[in-house]
Amino acid sequence: MKKIIGSVLLLIMLFAFPLTGETKETFSDVKEGYWAFEEIEFLVEKGIINGYQDGTFQPQREVNRGQTAKMIALALDLERSVDSPISFTDVNETDSYYPYIQAVANNEIMKGRSNTFDTYAPLSRAQMAVTLNRAFPFTKERDVTFSDVPKEYWAFEDIQILASNGITTGFKDGTFGPTDTITRAQFAVFLARALEEDFRVQDVNSPPSHVGSEKEAWKFLGIGVGDSLETLQTELGEPEAMEESRYNFQWHVYHNYYQDYVQYGIQDGKVVAVYSNQDTWRSEDGLVLDKLKRDVIATYGDPLTSIEKGNYSFSLNTETSGTYIIGDQYVTFFYDAHRDHRITAVLIIDQAVEEEFQQYYKKPTKQLKDSYERMVFYLANAQRERFSRGTLAWDDAAANTARDHSIDMAQNGFFDHTNLNGEDPFDRMMKNHIRFYNAAENIAYGQVSPIYVHHSWMNSKSHRSALLGDYTRLGVGVAFHDQYHQPYYTQNFYTPR
């Protein structure tokens, strides 16, 4: 009998071996040997991820915020209580992602912007770091350096914590790529490492030893004046927008839901100007965002009072900005008069490009007008994002109202919130069938570009209050004086009733 039982057991073992030794491939496009195969299969077994109806996983496809919410909620088995509704205007209770978004929102793991969640927007690597750090109880184990993540970067600590715990290694060149979007395969690997220590890594890709502060100086997200358009697009991809400038170059606008906001001026296939009002840069002498005006003066001396261009001299404001020639570039620091004159933005323009532009206002075109309107909108949202005020939605009706007022002022030679018919901003908005709970208007004229008018508004208490106020929509209108080419700007803010 013992011999018979032993034979039966041996037969079962021989029969079972090929079944347990065979690798099960859940998805037709994720085969054994694929770099993220084990992590993807791990999450499949836990019921955290799934693929598409055609049997694919599509590992190179971007993961969106809704998918992220679902995976986090399932990974942590978060409760989805009907007693804790959420109020994102772009998420309905009938949406398939609603219970997962509700779960991560109620647990403060993922937050929306203003009153939206942006369910189908892609997730950046920096956002991934913040999300995982909120979801899992990691602590910082050691200091980690990435050449494109300065200490002032908004997600610096979260990225440090993930790297020090073996969740991310960064790229081989020592960068982290904070603004890069995350693929489904990459997020699966990060999430698997967060859940299971066996998947974690020991070594982080540090930058080469020769990469120091000198290399980082005046680099905005790794790009500086003189770099090629090809380098810019290789590093950061395609821009969010391309707009006309007052110079002969075109602005390429980059941002990640208005985080890491940078404008690169492109002329003849090369970066000739850069502007940013967020933590994306450092000076060659260590100046960063929020340093004081006196720190700039201590470093570079008194600013220029004018720029000489041929036979012309162009005066400069030195109270709320300071312009210097540093190397072969004009560098302008913008200061926040309401925050002890701290650096709030920096603009760099190639010296030759600046001096070749021997006029004050550019001859207006419809394309320039449209670009100015959009850029005023971008700058408002970038500033609101920096101060955690929630971004605004563009509103065509408000834009038409603002545009009509700018045209009225430019054509009839007045500058006032009340027009020649006695109509104030609220009269004009209601006349255009805009119904609102609250509303505000900013106007300006004469500032040479959207950058300068934006900082002028931010340094005025009442205009700043509107720019950072509790509104949800914004329309912008720009018009130019026919003879003198002075731009007139109008912003109309409101929250719909």
Host H or E run for residue 233: helix 229-236
CA 126, chain centre distance (Å) = 10
Could you tell me the CA-to-CA distances from 157 to 131, 300, 378, 399 in Å, in that order? 12, 31, 27, 39
| Each residue's pLDDT tens digit, 92-105 | 888 889 899 999 98
- Can you give the pLDDT at residue 7? 38
Residues 6+ apart with CB under 8 A from 362: 246, 247, 368, 485
pLDDT in tens, 408-429: 999 999 999 999 999 999 999 9
pLDDT band at residue 1, thresholds of 50, 70 and 90? very low
CA nearest 37: which of 23, 22, 54, 47?
Answer: 23
Question: Tokens at residue 373, please?
Answer: 């309107």
- Please say whether the dihedral angle defined by the alpha carbons of residues 457, 470, 380 and 343, taken in this order, is positive or negative: positive
CA distance 64 to 257: 13
Is residue 344 classed exposed, middle or buried when 0-12, 13-18 and 19+ CB atoms within 10 A define those classes?
buried
- How far is 42 from 44, CA to CA, in rounded Å? 5
239, pLDDT greater than 80: yes
Separation between Cα atoms, residue 161 and residue 164, nearest integer Å: 5
Which has the closest alpha carbon to 154: 19, 340, 290? 290
Residue 472 structure tokens: 């949800």
Exposed, middle or buried, 309 (CB in 10 Å: 0-12/13-18/19+)?
middle
The per-residue pLDDT for range 280-322, each reduced to its tens digit, is 887 877 788 899 999 999 999 999 999 988 777 888 888 999 9
Q: What is the mean pLDDT of residues 78-97?
A: 81
pLDDT score of 6: 40
Label each residue of 363-432 as H, E or C: CCCHHHHHHHHHHHHHHHHHHHHHCCCCCCEECHHHHHHHHHHHHHHHHHCCCCCCCCCCCCHHHHHHHC
Tell me the one-letter amino acid at 16.
Answer: A
Q: How far apart are CA 19 and CA 30, in angstroms?
A: 20
Q: What is the pTM of this model?
A: 0.61
Lowest mean pLDDT among 18-32, 91-105, 368-382, 423-437: 18-32
Cα 179–chain centre separation: 7
Type of residue at 435 = R
Q: What is the mean pLDDT of residues 133-155?
A: 84
Q: Considering the chain, what percentage of its residues have pLDDT values greater than 90?
A: 56
